[in-house]
Amino acid sequence: MKVGVPKETLPGEHRVALVPDVLPKLKAAGIDVLVERGAGAAASYPDAMYEEAGATLVSGDEVWSLSDCVAKVQKPTVAEVGRLRAGQALVGLLSPLIDPGLMATLAEHGVTAISLDAIPRTLSRAQTMDVLSSQANIGGYKAVLVAAEAFGRYFPLLTTAAGTAKPANVLILGIGVAGLQAIGTARRLGAVVKAYDVRPETKEQAESLGAQFVTLSTAIDATGSGGYARELTAEERAAQQAELNGVIATMDVVITTAQVPGRKPPVLVTADAVRAMKPGSVILDMAASALGGNCELSRVGETIMTGNGVRILAPENLPATVPISASQFYARNLQALLLHLVKDGELTLDLEEEITAGVLITHGGKVVQPATAKLLEPAPAAGGTAA
């Protein structure tokens, strides 16, 4: 079986789907890797390293036409979809629940689409394939570095001949994979860290990394399914907001990571809360997307300076800014998935098996993953109109 690795085309996407390190194991499983010349360059993996590891270097056209499976990081562009043919497989971070229309198009093209963001994360045997975790971990780390760079003071407590610098007060909102890494990184830089989440089990996790958990007087347990949070009710949101605003006002740096699967991210830092912050404070909204973010004022891809001197950052793709590590971990996750799906050098899809059933979005001309198929069902006809 031939797996092809094209150069990523999204601006700023410096990651590459496979790195040279993982090629020997794939080769042993009957997988030959074709790499578009220059595909790993932005992640500091030059063509020569791929060649040494046993890859065949090919042109941009050949990587699409000669591969049985195309391995990407980002979902394909319209032009890339046009290069795929029936019976070919495509694997990447396809976001099927955010872009079900693209999945319908891939199904029409007869493409077998496999999405790495649909790995069942609660299965321990799928942990090595968990791209969302590996990339969120890198995002959480980089978020702290970016926020520290935007902050005009030291993070640690420093006593020097010229005086003493107070440590920065950092608040992490959302204690999932990214939030935990952000706590650890901010602590390693010497900040005093507070953290908050609506899943009570995160209290112990945050404390074990040296953060103080913010406990609100109105206890909220919004544990949802699969380890994720559920959306809060309007009353819970109001109670949470009133108290969080008080905490946010005392912070120097706020890093937000809160997500609710399939929904718009919750607003945790309102415009009023931003207005109450000190000049020089920094907010970094990791959840920001075109749908909105955790901060009411953030705009994805932009840095805003508010009238009261607060910087609001909303970087778009933090893992891509750590491309060597992010590609290495992405490639390890993809290697584990390919070794799981390929038997005797052939893609072997057992739809009864949990991991395969989770990641397989389109196959045989149909959208087969139930959650995505449901989103594509025609909306029920509008009710009767008044005569």
Q: Smallest gap, in angstroms, from Cβ of residue 103 to ligand NAD?
A: 21
Q: Which is nearer to ligand NAD, 49 or 357 (CB)?
A: 357
Give the span between the Cα atoms of 244 and 248, in whole angstroms. 6
The one catalytic residue in 74, 133, 240, 369 is 133
The one catalytic residue in 21, 47, 65, 127 is 127
Q: Which is nearer to ligand NAD, 112 or 185 (CB)?
A: 185
Q: Which is nearer to ligand NAD, 177 or 313 (CB)?
A: 177
Question: Looking at beta carbons, which residue is closest to ligand NAD?
Answer: 176
141 carries an active-site annotation: no
Bridge partners, residue 192, by sequence:
169
228 carries an active-site annotation: yes
Q: Smallest gap, in angstroms, from Cβ of residue 222 to ligand NAD?
A: 6
Q: Which is nearer to ligand NAD, 67 or 133 (CB)?
A: 133
- What tokens appear for 334 in the block? 């993809």
The one catalytic residue in 32, 68, 121, 199 is 121
Residues making contact with ligand NAD (CB under 6 A): 121-122, 124, 127, 130, 132-133, 136, 173-179, 196-199, 202, 227-229, 232, 257-261, 266, 268
H, E, C per residue of 338-350: HHHHEECCEECCC
Q: Smallest gap, in angstroms, from Cβ of residue 230 to ligand NAD?
A: 8
Give the span between the Cα atoms of 367 and 115, in whole angstroms. 12
- 147-164 burial, b at 16+ Cβ within 10 Å, e below that, comes to bbebbeebbeeeeeeeee
Q: Which is nearer to ligand NAD, 112 or 135 (CB)?
A: 135
C-beta atoms surrounding 166 within 10 Å: 12
The one catalytic residue in 117, 130, 252, 285 is 130
181 carries an active-site annotation: no
CB 367 within 8 A of CB 104: yes
The one catalytic residue in 228, 289, 299, 325 is 228
Q: Which is nearer to ligand NAD, 189 or 260 (CB)?
A: 260
Q: Smallest gap, in angstroms, from Cβ of residue 132 to ligand NAD?
A: 6
Burial degree of 386 (CB within 10 A; 0-12, 13-18, 19+): exposed
Q: Smallest gap, in angstroms, from Cβ of residue 372 to ligand NAD?
A: 18
Q: Smallest gap, in angstroms, from Cβ of residue 21 to ligand NAD?
A: 23
**CA–CA distances in Å: residue 3 to residues 18, 56, 142, 220, 379:** 10, 10, 30, 47, 38
127 carries an active-site annotation: yes
Q: Smallest gap, in angstroms, from Cβ of residue 231 to ligand NAD?
A: 8
C-beta atoms surrounding 255 within 10 Å: 30
Q: Which of 191, 114, 160 is nearest to 358 (CA)?
A: 114
Q: Which is nearer to ligand NAD, 56 or 95 (CB)?
A: 95
- 86-116 burial, b at 16+ Cβ within 10 Å, e below that, comes to eebbbbbbbebbeebebbbbbbebbbbbbbb
Amino acid at 316: E
133 carries an active-site annotation: yes
**CA–CA distances in Å: residue 99 to residues 79, 94, 104, 250, 287:** 16, 8, 9, 39, 18
Residues labelled as active-site residues: 121, 127, 130, 133, 228
